[in-house]
Amino acid sequence: MADNKTISQPTISDVAALAGVSISTVSRVINSTVPVASDTAQRVWQAIEQLRYVPRPAAQILAGSKTNTIGLLLPSISGAFFTEMLRGIEAAVRQNGFDLLIYVNQDVSSASKRYPQPLGEHNTDGIIIFTGSLDDSEIARLHQRDFPQVLLHRSPPAGLTIPCVAFENKAGARSLVDHLIEVHGYRRIAYLTGPSENEDSYWRKLGYQASLKTHNLPFNPALVGYGGFNHEEAHAFIEKWLQEGLQADAIFAGNDEAASGVMLALRNAGKRIPEDIAVVGFDDASYARYLTPPLTTIQAPSEKAGLLAAQQLVNLIQTGQAQPFILLPTELKVRQSCGCS
């Protein structure tokens, strides 16, 4: 009779039957929502373990209305910082008892028109939106519906207050360029931007300009190039720049990946680093210290950024409150590619 039950997983009724209580009681001891007599609870736990009973999330969600899941929206799975960031997010999400659902929005511009949205009220309690993975209109729509969201490495659409976490890009870039100018006396310092929609790149450039200004150095647009925040594009750009006769004392590559491409292009062209030209990056990727010469860069706490973003989202979900803005401090890592020894 109950034979076909054998195949499927035990349900709350099986536990209730075995423990000799009602299913509501089982539910209560599992969720500890309401006090239950300790000996009753005992029996229930025993039944649960004996049956190896595991509540079905789907049923809990349907009956409850919370999904206990946090969504992470990404433009792609790539970058030297990615592993660290995800580690931070996963840890915080898990620690708070949530599950993590990841979605890669291949084509952002068309994505906002897409329907249905892959991550939303139907399958998550809130989402972390990494820069470049969702456009302003969708973010605004979610905000309007009061759907919990936290922005990672981007600021909210104009006029909206949405919690976001980012690095102190400007201050970091500034201290880096300060070092180049003050310690090494470089005057012609080039900057390589990342993708135009990348806010990190924007703020780093501002820091670069601020440092120049502080030291009464002119801002020369001809010294601003495109490195794309990756090896290949940075490499290609520097090759071209060199052919065009670039004259510079130092190159601030925008990030470490670009820096490695820059260094290779420079070396291929017979330039010595840092004697002929210095190179610095941003991020402090794991391999930065293994480049030759070891890369002077700005250490950016990616894991912590991920951790805090997730934590903020949990706060937002559970209390409706979160810090509107978290700016994580960065630190100058002086190695040898700047000219230090």
Residues that bind DNA (CB under 7 A): 8-9, 11-13, 20-25, 27-28, 30-31, 33-37, 40-41, 53, 55-56, 59-60, 62-65
What binding mask, one character per residue, do residues 220-259 give for a copy of itself by CB under 8 A, x or -? -----------x-------------------------x--
Interaction of residue 39 with a copy of itself, rule CB under 8 A: no
Neighbouring residues of 210: CB distance < 8 A, sequence distance ≥ 6: 170, 174
Residue 100 interacts with a copy of itself (CB under 8 A)?
A: yes
Calpha distance 253→258 (Å, rounded): 6
Q: Compose the 267-286 pattern: x for residues touching a copy of itself by CB under 8 A, - for all others.
A: ------------------xx
**From the list a copy of itself, DNA, none, which binds 77 (C-beta under 5 to 8 Å, kind-based)?**
a copy of itself
CA distances from 74 to 13, 103, 129, 133, 152 (A): 40, 6, 7, 5, 10
Rounded CA-CA distance 260/255 in Å is 9
Tokens of 181: 């100018």
CA-to-CA distance for 190 and 11, rounded, in angstroms?
A: 65
Quick one: which of 22, 37, 49, 137 contacts a copy of itself (CB under 8 A)? 49
Place of tokens 């979900």: 317
Candidates 34-42, 74-82, 191-199, 216-224 — which segment interacts with a copy of itself by CB under 8 A? 74-82
Return the number of the residue (168 or 256) whose C-beta is nearest a copy of itself.
256
Q: What is the DSSP code (8-state) at residue 114?
A: -
Query: One-letter amino acid identity for 280?
Result: V
Which residue's CB is nearer to DNA, number 65 or number 161? Answer: 65
Query: Cβ(303)–Cβ(328) under 8 Å?
Result: no
What the block records as the tokens of 162 is 């949405």
**Positions in the binding site for a copy of itself (CB under 8 A):** 9, 49, 52, 54-59, 61-62, 67, 76-80, 82-83, 86-87, 90-91, 94, 99-104, 115-117, 120-123, 231, 257, 260-261, 263-264, 285-287, 289-292
